[in-house]
Amino acid sequence: MSQERNTEEQIIAAAKKIFSAKGLAGARMQDIADEAGINKAMLHYYYRSKEKLFEMVFNEALDRLLQRLSNAINTNLPLTEKIREIVRSYIEGLMENPHVPLFVLNELQQQPELLIKQFRSKPSFPNIQQFLMEIAVAGEKGLIKKVSPIQLMLNILSMCVFPFVAKPLVKGVTGIDEVQFKLLVEERKQFVADFILTAIQP
Amino acid sequence: MSQERNTEEQIIAAAKKIFSAKGLAGARMQDIADEAGINKAMLHYYYRSKEKLFEMVFNEALDRLLQRLSNAINTNLPLTEKIREIVRSYIEGLMENPHVPLFVLNELQQQPELLIKQFRSKPSFPNIQQFLMEIAVAGEKGLIKKVSPIQLMLNILSMCVFPFVAKPLVKGVTGIDEVQFKLLVEERKQFVADFILTAIQP
DNA sequence: GTCTATAGCTGGATAGAC
DNA sequence: GTCTATCCAGCTATAGAC
């Protein structure tokens, strides 16, 4: 009689937690086993090696990150409302998994090939080109100011993601605590959207 | 006869390179020794342990990061020009050390106490409160729109730093190469400043 | 499927010659 | 100060009993 499903899921959940907290190099198989409430040997029984387990977790994390981006970008709204929606839903998604971006970005820095594995066969890969085109067209039509589409997209992403990546620094420099930080981020859904829309007003 | 100075500096330079590329956990003392062109034992002769060496490198990196921020914030200019100057000089500084922010943010995530060591006796610590006050006052005077000072500051930092932190992702998703990336960042000095100033126009 | 025990290696740290 | 040789802890991974 097997708890296969349960155990596998437990392992993945534990691995996700430990890997994203400590990174590939810093994580210990023992930590993951403890977190999952099972034995170290079981990890190798289900997933052959640390690398394999990591790749599984990492790809899922990257996939979710890109998926969220895709969903936001592909909504069928006029550009300005779409931007508001992107900001809202992206920040909301990050609030649920606040340490994922730093984890992903850090591992991508060290092994940029990791991204390439996502290209293959992934429908989650965001259709950036279409969104960039949309910005360009809206600029031509005078719906928004004419701006470099890539720069604008970078600005949007920056302001959504950065606070999560820099959380300890932000808390340290400003002196705010966890509760205030949560509030700050919550406020940002509105603030960032307004900020962007004002900046690109025609 | 000693190459003390030279060797010490060589070690620090090598350690900086390896640590910021691979992080504390991922770096190997052997890598650092190779990079410095010396023997592994020498590292322990000059700096007792891996941790000590790391702390030295890390503190210097964090210090420089905060110093740059301080310098930009403390210039004696009217707020709008100051913002333009902050963006310009901060991005320029990051172009010279593009991997430092991710390195620092990542290690801070894993050991937030590392920041506290900077508090002590560091005049480089940026006088954030004064800058926030300046924003509030400018809002009251109608020089800029009334906005949450912290949110505005976060926006400024986000747009400057994020592209460096997310470099591999940006390159992967947009498909641009190294040269185009450099150009993109160069352009940002202007673009981001204009973007911000437009957004906070009264 | 799950556990204990252990093999085998990697890497930080030290001893000791020069 | 610098090097070679080596120790030893910690870790991944596997063998083998249940």
Residues with CB under 7 A from strand D: A 27-30, 40-41, 44, 48-51; B 2-4, 7, 38-42, 45
Is there a contact between B157 and A157 if contact means CB atoms under 8 Å apart? no
Q: State residue B10's pLDDT score.
A: 96
Res. B2 pLDDT band, cuts 50 70 90: very low
Q: State residue B125's pLDDT score.
A: 81
Q: State residue A3's pLDDT score.
A: 53
pLDDT digits (tens, 9 = 90+) for B56-77: 999 999 999 898 888 889 889 9
Q: Which nucleotides of D are covered by protein (CB under 7 A)?
A: 1-5, 10-16
Query: Nearest Cα to A186, choosing from A101, A87, A92?
Result: A92
Q: State residue A116's pLDDT score.
A: 85
User: Rounded distance, CA B10 to CA A189, Å?
Assistant: 47
Q: Does the pLDDT at position B1 exceed 50? A: no
Is there a contact between B110 and A26 if contact means CB atoms under 8 Å apart? yes
Q: Which of A25, A128, A198 sits opposite B173 (nearest CB)?
A: A128
pLDDT digits (tens, 9 = 90+) for A87-131: 999 999 999 999 999 999 999 999 999 988 877 667 778 889 999
Min CA distance, B11 vs chain A (Å)? Answer: 22
**pLDDT above 90 coverage of chain B, percent:** 83
User: Rounded distance, CA A149 to CA A160, Å?
Assistant: 17
In this structure, how many other beta carbons lie within 10 angstroms of the beta carbon of residue A171?
A: 18
Most A CBs within 10 Å: which of B165, B171, B185, as the mutation test of the A interface? B165
Mark residue B121 as left, alpha or beta (left: phi above 0; alpha: psi -120 to 50; beta: remaining): left
pLDDT digits (tens, 9 = 90+) for B80-109: 999 999 999 999 999 999 999 999 999 999
Q: Which of A21, A106, A157 sits opposite B102 (nearest CB)?
A: A106
Specify the amino acid at residue A174: T
Q: State residue A119's pLDDT score.
A: 76
pLDDT digits (tens, 9 = 90+) for B10-41: 999 999 999 999 999 999 999 999 999 999 99
Query: Nearest Cα to B79, choosing from B32, B144, B34, B126?
Result: B144
3-state class (DSSP) for residue A6: helix
Q: Which of A106, A126, A199 sits opposite B198 (nearest CB)?
A: A199
Q: At what angle do helices A149-165 and A167-174 cross, to 10 degrees?
A: 70
User: Rounded distance, CA B43 to CA B14, Å?
Assistant: 11
Mark residue B134 as left, alpha or beta (left: phi above 0; alpha: psi -120 to 50; beta: remaining): alpha
Q: At what angle do helices A29-36 and A4-26 cross, to 10 degrees?
A: 150
Pure H helices in chain A: 4-26, 29-36, 40-46, 50-73, 79-96, 100-110, 113-119, 128-141, 149-165, 167-174, 178-199
| DSSP per-residue letters across B13-72 | HHHHHHHHHHHHHH--HHHHHHHHTS-HHHHHHHSSSHHHHHHHHHHHHHHHHHHHHHHH
Is B174 in the A-facing interface, judged by CB distances under 8 Å?
Answer: yes
Q: State residue A1's pLDDT score.
A: 41
More confident residue, B127 or A51: A51
More confident residue, A28 or A119: A28
Specify the amino acid at residue A141: K
Is B139 in the A-facing interface, judged by CB distances under 8 Å?
Answer: no
pLDDT digits (tens, 9 = 90+) for A174-195: 999 999 999 999 999 999 999 9
CA distances from B161 to A76, A172, B88, B110, B144 (A): 31, 17, 12, 20, 24
CA dihedral of A80, A83, A84, A88, whole degrees rounded to 10: 170
Q: State residue B140's pLDDT score.
A: 98
- Nearest nt (C1') to B4 (CA)? D1
What does the pLDDT average to over B144-165? Answer: 98
3-state class (DSSP) for residue B121: coil
Q: State residue A5's pLDDT score.
A: 63
User: Rounded distance, CA B148 to CA B127, Å?
Assistant: 17
What does the pLDDT average to over B118-129? Answer: 79
Output DSSP code: residue B135. Answer: H
Q: Report phi then psi at B97, rounded to 5.
A: -135, 70
User: Rounded distance, CA A96 to CA A93, Å?
Assistant: 5
Contacts of residue B187 in chain A, CB cutoff 8 Å? 148, 151
Count of CA atoms in the C-beta half-sphere (13 A) of B179: 0
pLDDT digits (tens, 9 = 90+) for A32-76: 999 999 999 999 999 999 999 999 999 999 999 999 888 889 889
| Neighbouring residues of B82: CB distance < 8 A, sequence distance ≥ 6 | B72, B73, B75, B134
Environment class of A103 (CB within 10 Å of its CB; exposed 0-12, middle 13-18, buried 19+): buried
pLDDT digits (tens, 9 = 90+) for B34-59: 999 999 999 999 999 999 999 999 99
User: Rounded distance, CA B47 to CA B136, Å?
Assistant: 46
- Answer for the pair A73, A86: CB distance below 8 angstroms, yes or no: yes
Q: How far is the CA of A64 from the C1' of D1 (A)?
A: 53
